[in-house]
Amino acid sequence: MPYPSGTRARATLCALLALVCVSCSTPASRTASGAPHYVIDPSWPKPLPDRWVLGGLGGVCVDRNDHVFILNRQDVADGDLNGGRLAPSIIELDAAGGVVNSWGDHKVMDARLHSCHEDAEGNMWVAAAPSGVVQKYSHDGARLLLQIGVRGTLDTADGSEKGRPLNSAGARFTSPSSIFVDRSNGDVYVSDGESPGQNKRVAVFDKSGTFLRQWLLPHMQSVHCLSMSRAGEVYVCNRTGSRVEVYDKMGKLLRTMAVPWTPVTPPAEGKLKETGGSAVAIDFSPDVEQKWIYVMNQNNAQMEVFERVSGKHLASFGRPGTFVGEFNQAHGIAVDSQGRVYVSENRGRRVMRFVLQ
């Protein structure tokens, strides 16, 4: 068919522009309604180079350039390395999904990586559980700049993973799960106690690693994640308690945000069964007010979106499965400057990107 010309060409162009305008109006109507709608970006990331094979992904974080860092625990499945090569521990992807850097030395870094964070100076902080340490690296991973704690020596009665937790007021950990560096003064906040039977606290250190204070959380089975809002509030995941708890910087509880869940298929005995908890990982939207908070709900295998201040539930996305856009033990989340949401899976061994529609 020949291309239309004259009046027909103008009519065709107007029709196309009308379709574009309808498409562009969707985010505005979504924002006005207060309920964000996310869809999977199937083009991201690009295939990994050199036949790299991933193990479980313990965490994910985003830097100021919207580069995405994934934490590869390297616990690959049997037989995977017959057809591939073990991927590095930390892999940096650009916004297009291509690998731009990779690093990690197990002589100094524990294998069971759990979370990462970029501070105001561009340094990368890494926590591994139960390593007993948090570490600060140069952005490219070439230099270890600071380590808090002693690797392999845990804050327990006998120093071992199975020992009685002590919650010591000092630079020792049992299982550090998350890190956030205060942009205002460089203080380092660490949630310590990734699993039951470990410490249950938030510990705070100055920029040199000197212990400042802590607050204990004996009511939590697992102090699984931590972040800080621009308002200076510390958000802590009560993983199996179905809550995100909000504290001031001195540890005063300000409010709690319920993260309820219900089995899609009710259990025969009528009792709820945890499959990982409903408050596993958190991050905020990139706007100045940080209007939304994102919470990974492993029990229902979906991402929950709440109004940050009110705690009102707005939306959710995801479901159990191994197809693109579904979650197989999603464990880490991060949000970039464009509001795109990145989800890393432990059991599924993938990282995915969701975009606003």
Please report whether residue 8 resides in a domain: no
Handedness of CA 250, 252, 254, 259 (dihedral sign): positive
Please report whether residue 16 resides in a domain: no
CB 153 within 8 Å of CB 146: no
Tokens of 111: 């294998």
Instruction: Return the amino acid letter for 22.
Output: V
Please report whether residue 109 resides in a domain: yes
| Alpha carbon distance 116, 44 (integer Å) | 21
The secondary structure of residue 239, as a DSSP letter, is G
Question: For position 106, what pLDDT does the model report?
Answer: 86
Please report whether residue 21 resides in a domain: no
Question: For position 47, what pLDDT does the model report?
Answer: 98
Tokens of 167: 């919650």
Question: For position 33, what pLDDT does the model report?
Answer: 54
Question: For position 35, what pLDDT does the model report?
Answer: 81
Burial class (CB within 10 angstroms; exposed 0-12, middle 13-18, buried 19+) of 144: middle
pTM of the model: 0.90
Please report whether residue 239 resides in a domain: yes
| Alpha carbon distance 235, 226 (integer Å) | 6
Please report whether residue 22 resides in a domain: no
Please report whether residue 274 resides in a domain: yes
Question: For position 30, what pLDDT does the model report?
Answer: 52
Q: Report the chain (357 residues): mean pLDDT per 10 consecutive residues.
A: 42 39 36 79 98 98 98 95 97 98 94 97 96 96 97 94 96 97 98 96 98 98 97 98 98 97 92 94 97 98 97 96 98 98 98 97
Instruction: Return the amino acid letter for 107.
Output: K
Question: For position 27, what pLDDT does the model report?
Answer: 38
Give the domain range for residue 332.
34-356
132 SS3 class: coil
| Alpha carbon distance 350, 343 (integer Å) | 8
Question: For position 189, what pLDDT does the model report?
Answer: 98
| Alpha carbon distance 25, 17 (integer Å) | 12
| Alpha carbon distance 354, 357 (integer Å) | 9
Please report whether residue 316 resides in a domain: yes
25 SS3 class: helix
What is the count of structural domains for the chain?
A: 1
Q: Which CATH number does the domain housing residue 57 bear?
A: 2.120.10.30
349 SS3 class: coil
333 SS3 class: strand
Q: Which of 201, 238, 193 is nearest to 220 (CA)?
A: 238
